[in-house]
Amino acid sequence: MARKIKIRAREKGGVTTVKFLMKHPMETGLRKDRKTGKKIPAHYISDVTVSLDGSMVMTAYLGPGVSKDPYLSTEVKGANKGDTITVAWVDNMGEQASADATIK
């Protein structure tokens, strides 16, 4: 399954707001498949990092209680227009994704 991250980063008054949408099923492990009746295995994003030009500025630890396709936002001080923001995640099954955006 293709994993995507959409990022929007805008600087205003010395503070950059970073908003990102991560496409992921975020299964809790508690739902059952309607056809087979078996539980769907837990599959969720566990770690999210945001980096500014290669230096980590935020880490978040998520769990199975977060909804499908999580949307997060954070603010970064000291970033400038043209700098690169990188968002990356790892899930509990070892899958990972990352994406870059230029601050506008």
pTM equals: 0.90
User: What average pLDDT score do residues 79-98 get?
Assistant: 96
What pLDDT is stored for residue 1 in this prediction?
46
- For residue 16, what is the DSSP state? E
What pLDDT is stored for residue 2 in this prediction?
52
Residue whose C-alpha is closest to residue 57's, from 96, 83, 34: 83
N-to-C CA span, the chain:
30
Phi, psi of 6 (to 5 degrees): -105, 130
pLDDT tens track for 18-66:
999 999 999 999 999 999 999 999 999 999 999 999 999 999 999 999 9
- Under the banding of pLDDT at 50, 70 and 90, the label for residue 94 is very high
Please count the other Cβ atoms lying within 10 Å of the Cβ belonging to residue 56.
11
Q: Which domains does the chain have, with CATH numbers?
A: 5-102 (2.60.40.10)
The residues pairing with 32 across neighbouring beta strands, listed in sequence order, are 39
